[in-house]
Structure 1
Amino acid sequence: MYLSVATTHRPATDLGFLLHKHPARLHETELPFGKAFVFYPEATESRCEAALVLDIDPVGLVRGKGRGEGLLDQYVNDRPYAASSFLSVAIARALRSAMAGTSRDRPELATVGIPLEAVVTPLPARGGERLVRELFEPLGWRVDVERVPGLAGATSPYVTLRLAGTARLQALLNHLYVLVPVLDDDKHYWVGDDEVAKLLKRGEGWLETHPARDLIVRRYLIHRRALARDALERLAPETREEAAAPETRSTMEDSLEAPLRLNDERLAAVVDVLRASGARRVVDLGCGEGKLLHRLIRERWVESMIGVDPAARDLEWAAKRLKLHEPGGPPEGRVTLLHGSVTYRDRRWETADAAALVEVLEHLDEDRLPALERVLFGAARPATVVVTTPNAEYNSLFPNLATGAFRHPDHRFEWTRGQFRAWAERVAQEHGYAVVYGDVGRLDEALGAPTQMATFSREDAA
């Protein structure tokens, strides 16, 4: 991951005094997860540019060199190489004095705005270009966003961000420190009470009046309800709790589909298929907050169920919804929640008779689908697999959805009926399954149903 900061202030080499880094040297900072290097690709009187580059040690993350939980995920995917909370930590460590807004040799320069340009790449943009602009433009930055090409023509979630404007260097660094992980909507370390203090410190003077304040707070604190409430009430005492409980949390996708009661129909359809399959052990891959599991608990034919999700916070909400280890909850051992990914083999759930992926595929980058296929259809090979995904053709019937937009900002793609069936037919043929299709929701004669469903049955399990 790469961050550059440049100025055309005269003399431009004064940037070295603001960053406390001499332009003629390579500066190295040890980090818990690797090293940060600061150097100057250009240093003239008319323009000076400093670059911060991270060299992350992914093996060190697995061996416990990092500070957070779940760092195995950082080792086995591309996240160590994209701008994220890793970059925020590097900014705070390597550019500490600049973030504090002090300069021993140019104290007056640190207090005034100067022309600045910044480049961050590759930057995860969970919400797309529109969200990037909504975060940075109210702060006075001119914003340019360029999509980073994906592999084999697949849509990439990463962008190159360019900012330009006149501001204090301290303000630029604080904006990046907060908003980079907000765009990623995740962090590589455990988020506790101290994160509220960090947010308030780095957001002082701009966050309380930012039009996207509530979204920034929730994402920066990885949707931890109590922390978000605390931060919002300290930023604006009149603010009331905005981080809803699991039962009432809603997304853009939920709002679009609510008039159709599509989520209820989708879960009911999946339960019907699972019941008819004769399965006794069910795994919900990408279980989120446990909505499908909550329905399955009421089904007596389910002896045991497992929920798997890469988001620890969603598993926490699922545990509350299901009342695990609480009076009135399911018997001990009937429901198990696992922190994991559908793209990496996990023998803890491979004994399941049936697997469900409810609105999961579209949240994966398309170049990760072969890994999911190998794990689910190649290694685990449950007798039944139920998959649902949005029908992109139906999107034109949602009045509040812009042409070409996805139903959820985290969707990497949305397939037409033909694309979904082509994928399902190939997977079934390659792995020895038969597949049948179903529609969920109000059927349009020309465009089909809002949700498309495929049920895979292993041919040697008949």
Structure 2
Amino acid sequence: MLLTISTTRTPATDLGWLLHKHPDKAQSFPLTFGQAHVFYPEAREERCAAALLLEVDPVGLARQRRNTGNELLAQYVNDRPYVASSFLSVALSQVLGSALNGSCKARPELTEEPLPLVARLSVLPCRRGGEGFLRRLFEPLGYVVTATRHPLDAQFPEWGESPYFTVELRATVRLADLLSHLYVLVPVLDDEKHYWVSNDEVEKLLRHGEGWLNSHPEKERIAERYLRRQSKLVRSVLAALDPNDTEEPAEALAAQDLAEERLESRVSLHEHRLATVLGALQATGATRVLDLGCGEGKLLRLLAADPRFTEVVGVDVSVRSLEIARQRLDRQRLPDNLGARVKLLHGSLTYRDARLVGFDAAAVVEVIEHLDLPRLGAFERALFGGAKPRVVILTTPNREYNVRFEGLPAGKFRHADHRFEWTRAQFAEWCAKVCAAHGYAVRIDPLGATDAEVGAPSQVATFTRT
């Protein structure tokens, strides 16, 4: 994990005063999760660059944690040592704390001087929003953003793009402001923290967001993701930023899902969609069924209650959603222990997974629109080329129908996490491409009451392997 900060303000070596680290000396600092090293790859009057290198020890971190029995392998095999994350924020606070706080007793005038600075993050994860969200975070703060996206594997370009970018941020700004922006926004982009988020995180966010967060156009999403979507903490931050703003934020994906359901409730679409998919699966004669992107288990509960399905497997990338799904299944009173036939798997729908091979049918309900378009090809290959169920029932919104939803602004998607929404023609074109590539035939039907002008609110495709 590498961050470099450079300047061309003459004499550029004044950067050493601001960072409280001498350009001629490499220094190392022990941290609870590994080690931090500060050194200067370049230190000239015309240009000076300082580097902060973190060595994260995932094995040491795993040994410090109580083993809950979940995700044991993920404790040892993960991207934490290689990408900018909340570990970087901690290192900025502990290793460059004086610079972060804008303190320099030897040269106090430097702390208030805007400098031409370039910050380079070698690997920055931009989860759930990609480059667009990255730019929406930094560009309003005056940065010129250069982002280079990395493929998952350069030797296998068909796997698509990763969520990782090499990012350069250029601006004439105070060093303390640059460090504060990185301190807050890097964990927001990563959408993860390595420690428990509690009330003291509110104070940190307000302190390091002072002077810029209140006017930032993405302040609600920054607060939500920085505070791990804990609604009470998010509300307290937004109230502190603007006491006159009483509007409730969209605090979590669960809240966004609820908003989408309420939006669609006027056409009774949500329950109709689940009933349609259930009926379609029953009509196929399938006994072993996948629910891909099962979320909190609404379709799973219907499948579990039907004895004709002898094996039901729900897959989702969110561990928290799977926990909620399991709790709901455990509370469901099913005769003859029908719920025991339901298994929950943690996995990504964009990777081939041998556990998903051999099933009769798969349901993919309102899932693909949550994938970044560059990852859609990987999803197609994993499902239609890898798992190869006999039948796939897939639903997605009809974008043309959005004009019929009162309160949905023009050009906006139904759900805050949607990456795209397709028209009927676009969906049909995608379905035809999938069939041609993977040996399936498809039938597309409207889902919900059909409007003569814009069609039905949603659309369902039934893929059958030929």
Q: What TM-score bracket applies, with the shorter chain setting the length?
A: 0.7 to 0.9
Which of 184, 188, 204 is the equivalent residue of 1:178? 184
Partner residue of 2:20? 20
Describe the shift of the 1:445–1:338 C-alpha distance in structure 2 as closer, same or farther (beyond 3 A). same
The answer to whether the 8 A contact 1:32-1:65 is kept is no
2:197 aligned with 1:199, yes or no? no
**Alpha-carbon distance in structure 2 between the residues aligned to 1:202 and 1:71:** 34
Alpha-carbon offset, residue 425 of structure 1: 1.0
- The Cα offsets for residues 162-213 of structure 1, whole Å up to 9 and x where unpaired, read as 241333x2332122111122234x2153534264454355445654665543
Counterparts of 1:392-431 in structure 2, within 5 Å, are 400-402=409-411, 410-411=417-418, 416-417=426-427, 419-429=429-439
- More displaced stretch, 123-132 vs 279-288: 123-132
Partner residue of 1:311? 318
Describe the shift of the 1:241–1:409 C-alpha distance in structure 2 as closer, same or farther (beyond 3 A). closer
2:219 aligned with 1:213, yes or no? yes
Describe the shift of the 1:133–1:389 C-alpha distance in structure 2 as closer, same or farther (beyond 3 A). same
The answer to whether the 8 A contact 2:256-2:415 is kept is no
The answer to whether the 8 A contact 2:443-2:463 is kept is yes
Partner residue of 2:103? 102
Describe the shift of the 1:232–1:86 C-alpha distance in structure 2 as closer, same or farther (beyond 3 A). same
Partner residue of 2:171? 164
Describe the shift of the 1:391–1:145 C-alpha distance in structure 2 as closer, same or farther (beyond 3 A). farther
The answer to whether the 8 A contact 1:401-1:407 is kept is no
**Alpha-carbon distance in structure 2 between the residues aligned to 1:66 and 1:445:** 61
Describe the shift of the 1:134–1:367 C-alpha distance in structure 2 as closer, same or farther (beyond 3 A). closer
Counterparts of 1:267-282 in structure 2, within 5 Å, are 267-282=274-289
AA matched with 1:189: H
Which of 292, 314, 321 is the equivalent residue of 1:285? 292
2:435 aligned with 1:437, yes or no? no
Partner residue of 1:189? 194
- The Cα offsets for residues 266-301 of structure 1, whole Å up to 9 and x where unpaired, read as 433322211212234433221223343355456564
Alpha-carbon offset, residue 13 of structure 1: 1.5
Counterparts of 1:219-238 in structure 2, within 5 Å, are 219-229=225-235
Question: Secondary structure of the residue that 2:143 maps to in structure 1?
Answer: strand
Question: Secondary structure of the residue that 1:289 maps to in structure 2?
Answer: coil
Partner residue of 2:154? none
Question: Secondary structure of the residue that 2:21 maps to in structure 1?
Answer: coil
Partner residue of 2:362? 355
Counterparts of 1:108-187 in structure 2, within 5 Å, are 108-109=108-109, 111-121=111-121, 123=124, 124=126, 126-127=128-129, 131-132=133-134, 135-136=137-138, 141-149=141-149, 151=151, 160=167, 162-167=169-174, 169-184=175-190, 186-187=191-192
**Alpha-carbon distance in structure 2 between the residues aligned to 1:3 and 1:176:** 10
TM superposition score normalised by structure 1: 0.73
**Alpha-carbon distance in structure 2 between the residues aligned to 1:406 and 1:73:** 33
Partner residue of 1:386? 393
Describe the shift of the 1:37–1:366 C-alpha distance in structure 2 as closer, same or farther (beyond 3 A). farther
- More displaced stretch, 273-282 vs 77-86: 77-86
AA matched with 1:98: A
**Alpha-carbon distance in structure 2 between the residues aligned to 1:171 and 1:74:** 33
Describe the shift of the 1:161–1:449 C-alpha distance in structure 2 as closer, same or farther (beyond 3 A). farther
**Alpha-carbon distance in structure 2 between the residues aligned to 1:315 and 1:347:** 20
**Alpha-carbon distance in structure 1 between the residues aligned to 2:331 and 2:260:** 31
Identity %: 48
AA matched with 1:119: A
Describe the shift of the 1:146–1:45 C-alpha distance in structure 2 as closer, same or farther (beyond 3 A). closer
Question: Alignment length, in residue pairs?
Answer: 445
AA matched with 2:391: T
